[in-house]
Chain A
Amino acid sequence: MVAGTSILPSCSDSFLEEDMVTSLSTQHFTTAEGLDELSTGMYQHLRFQFNYEWAYSMTQYGTDEFSTGGDRTWALWNTYQADLNSETWHVGDWWNNIYGNINSANIMIANVPRYYGDLPARDTRLGEAHFMRAYNYFRLVRQFGGVPLKLNPSNSVELEFRRNSEEEVFEQVIADFNKAWELLPAAPEQTGRITKWAAAHFLAKAYLTRASELYEGWNGATKQADLENAVLFADRVINESPHTLADDFRDLWHYTKPNDVNETNPEIILAAQFSDNTATQGRFGNQIHLYYPSVYQNLPGMQRDIPGGREFQRLRSTNYAMDVYDRVNDSRFWKSFKTVYSSNRPGTAPVWEEGYAPSPELVGEPRFAGGEVAIKYIVNNAGDNRYTQDNIKFEAPHTFVRYFDGEAESFTSITGNYEASRWVALSKFMDGSRSSVASQFGRRDGILARLAETYLIAAEAHGRLGDFSAALPYINEVRARAAYKEGEDRSYYSDGGLAYINNEAVNQDAFNSYSDKNTYYESNNIATELTDATSSALVFGSVADIFASDAEFYDYVGANSDEEKFIHFILNERSRELMGEMLRWEDLARTKTLVVRATRFNDEAQPDPNKHYYRPLPQSYLDGIRWDGQNLTPEQKQQEQNPGY
Chain B
Amino acid sequence: MNKKLREVPQTSRRASFGGRFFRLVLLGMVFLWGALGSLEAQGRAISGTVTDTQGFPMPGVNITVKESPGVGVITDIDGKYQITAPNDNAVLVYSFIGFQVEEISVSGRSVIDVILMEDMLGLEEVVVVGYGVQRRSDLTGALSSVSSEEIQRMPVANMAQAIQGRASGIDITSNERPGESGTIRIRGQRSLTASSDPLYVVDGIPLASKDAINNINPADIESIDILKDASSTAIYGSRGANGVILVTTKRAKKDALSMNYRGTLTIEKMYDRMEMMNSADYIEFRRDAYRTAGSYPDVPTRDADLAIFGMDDYAWANIEQGWAGGSWDGSRVSTTDWTDMVTRTALTQEHNLSVSGGSDNVLAYGSFGYLNQEGTQLGQEFERFSTNLNVEVTPVDWFKYGASVNASSSMQEYGFDSTSPSGARSLYAAALGMLPYAVPFDDNGDRINLPGGDVNILNPIGDEKYSIDERKTYRLLGSLFAEVNLMEGLRYRMNFGPDYYQRNRGIYRDAMSMNRGGGEPGSTNYAQYSTDSRFSWTLDNLVYYNTSFDQHNLGLTFLQTATSNRTETSQMTAENLPWNAQKWHQLNSVSALSGFGTNLVETTMTSYMGRVNYGFADKYLLTASARWDGASQLAEGNKWDFFPSAALAWRLEQEDFLAGVHWVNQLKARVGVGTTGNSAIGAYQTLGAITQLYYTWGESVDGGYVSSDASLATPNPMANQDLGWEKTTQWNLGVDFSFLNSTINGSLDVYTSRTSDLLMRMGIPALTGYTTTFANVGETSNKGIDLNLNTYNFRGRDFSWTTDLVFSANRDKIEELSMGKVDDINNLWFIGERLAVGYDYLFDGIWQDTPEDLAEMAKFNANGHAFQPGSIRVKDLDGDYQIDPDNDRGIVGHSAPSWTAGLTNTFTYKNWDFSFFIYSRWNFMVETGAERLQGRFAQRKVNYWTPDNPSTEYPRPNYNNFDGDVYRTSMNYQDGSFIKLRNVSLGYNLPANVASRLGISNMKVFGQLMNPGLLYSKIDWIDPDLGGSTFNRGVVFGVNIGF
Q: Enumerate chain A interface residues (CB-CB to B < 8 A).
A: 1, 3-4, 6-11, 15-29, 34, 37-45, 48, 51-52, 71-76, 79, 81-83, 85-87, 93, 95-97, 99-104, 106-107, 148, 150, 153-154, 156-159, 161, 190-193, 258-259, 263-264, 273-275, 277-284, 295, 297-298, 303-306, 310-311, 344-345, 435-438, 505, 604, 608, 611, 619-626, 629-631, 634, 637-638, 641, 644-645
Contacts and interface: CB of A to CB of B under 8 A. Distances in A.
Contact of A44 (B683, B695, B826): B695
Contact of A26 (B690, B818, B819): B690
9 contacts: A7-B539, A40-B702, A72-B962, A103-B707, A153-B769, A298-B450, A304-B521, A436-B576, A437-B517
Q: From A8, A40, A95, A150, name the one whose CB has the most chain B CB atoms within 10 angstroms.
A: A40
B256 interface: no
- Which of B450, B521, B684, B712 has the most CB atoms of chain A within a 10 A radius of its CB? B521
A623 B704 contact: no
Q: Is the interface of B mostly helix, strand, loop or mixed?
A: loop
Contacts of A644: 864
Rank and list the top 9 A-B pairs by shortest CB-CB distance, nearest first.
A437-B522, A103-B769, A40-B704, A10-B606, A191-B698, A41-B704, A190-B697, A280-B694, A10-B562
Given A303-B521, A437-B521, A85 B885 contact: yes
Contacts of B700: 190
B760 to A, nearest CB: 11
Contacts of A275: 696, 698-699, 701
B687 interface: yes
B961 interface: yes
B775 A157 contact: yes
Contacts of B44: none
Nearest to B493: A3
A20 B771 CA distance: 22
A146 B766 CA distance: 16
Nearest to B825: A623
Nearest to A606: B866
B954 to A, nearest CB: 18
A3 B630 CA distance: 24
Contacts of B876: none
Interface string B693-721: 11111111111111111111101001100
Contacts of A1: 401, 482, 484, 494
B665 to A, nearest CB: 44
A275 to B, nearest CB: 4
Interface in B567-621: 575-576, 592-596, 599-607
Interface stretch (B183-191, B340-348, B631-639, B808-816): B631-639
Contact of B696 (A37, A101, A274): A274
A344 B692 CA distance: 42
Contact of B560 (A8, A87, A101, A278): A8
Contacts of B692: 23, 41
A224 B80 CA distance: 115
Given A40-B704, A82-B865, A297-B520, A19 B826 contact: no
A124 to B, nearest CB: 13
Given A75-B960, A81-B866, A25 B690 contact: yes
B698 A41 contact: no
Contacts of B966: 81-83
B304 to A, nearest CB: 13
Give the interface SS of chain A, mostly helix, strand, loop or mixed: loop
A97 B960 contact: no
Given A192-B696, A437-B521, A28 B705 contact: yes
Contact of B770 (A86, A154, A435): A154
A157 B773 contact: yes
B884 interface: yes
Interface in B494-524: 494, 516-517, 520-524
Given A38-B705, A305-B522, 12 more contacts: A3-B494, A20-B687, A22-B600, A24-B690, A25-B719, A41-B695, A42-B704, A96-B771, A150-B768, A157-B718, A282-B693, A284-B711
Given A190-B697, A192-B696, A435-B524, A18 B769 contact: no
Contacts of A22: 599-601
B1010 to A, nearest CB: 41
B696 A277 contact: yes
Contact of B709 (A44, A106, A158, A310): A44
B164 to A, nearest CB: 37
Contacts of B494: 1, 3, 6
Contacts of A7: 539, 562
A420 to B, nearest CB: 9
A192 B450 CA distance: 42
Given A4-B492, A15-B604, A638-B886, A28 B690 contact: yes
Contact of B718 (A154, A298, A623, A629): A154
A45 B691 CA distance: 13
Given A26-B707, A157-B768, A73 B593 contact: no
Contacts of B86: none
Nearest to B520: A304
Contact of A100 (B455, B709, B819): B709
Contacts of B561: 10
Central interface residue in A96, A101, A278, A284, by most chain B CB within 10 Å: A96
B688 A51 contact: no
A41 B524 contact: no
Contact of A71 (B492, B706, B864, B962): B962
A136 to B, nearest CB: 12
A159 B767 CA distance: 9
B28 interface: no
B632 A18 contact: yes
B887 interface: yes
Contacts of B826: 620, 623-624
A38 B703 CA distance: 9
Contacts of B686: 18
Interface in B959-1016: 960-963, 966
B819 A159 contact: yes
Contact of B687 (A10, A18, A96, A277): A18
B324 interface: no
A18 B684 contact: yes
A284 B630 CA distance: 41
A425 to B, nearest CB: 15
A154 B522 contact: no
B837 interface: no
B146 interface: no
A41 B691 contact: yes
Contacts of A621: 765-766
Nearest to B704: A40
A41 B886 contact: no
Given A104-B706, A297-B520, A608-B864, A283 B713 contact: yes
Interface in B896-939: 934
Nearest to A512: B521
B323 to A, nearest CB: 20
Nearest to B715: A100
B59 interface: no
B765 A625 contact: yes
Contacts of A305: 521-522
B407 to A, nearest CB: 24
A567 B110 CA distance: 118
A297 B476 CA distance: 53
B101 interface: no
Contacts of B592: 278-279
Contacts of A645: 884
Contacts of B601: 22
B560 A103 contact: no
Contact of A21 (B520, B541, B575, B600): B600
A15 B704 contact: no
A637 B824 CA distance: 14
A621 B708 CA distance: 18
Given A6-B541, A22-B600, A103-B768, A624 B763 contact: yes
A389 B562 CA distance: 82
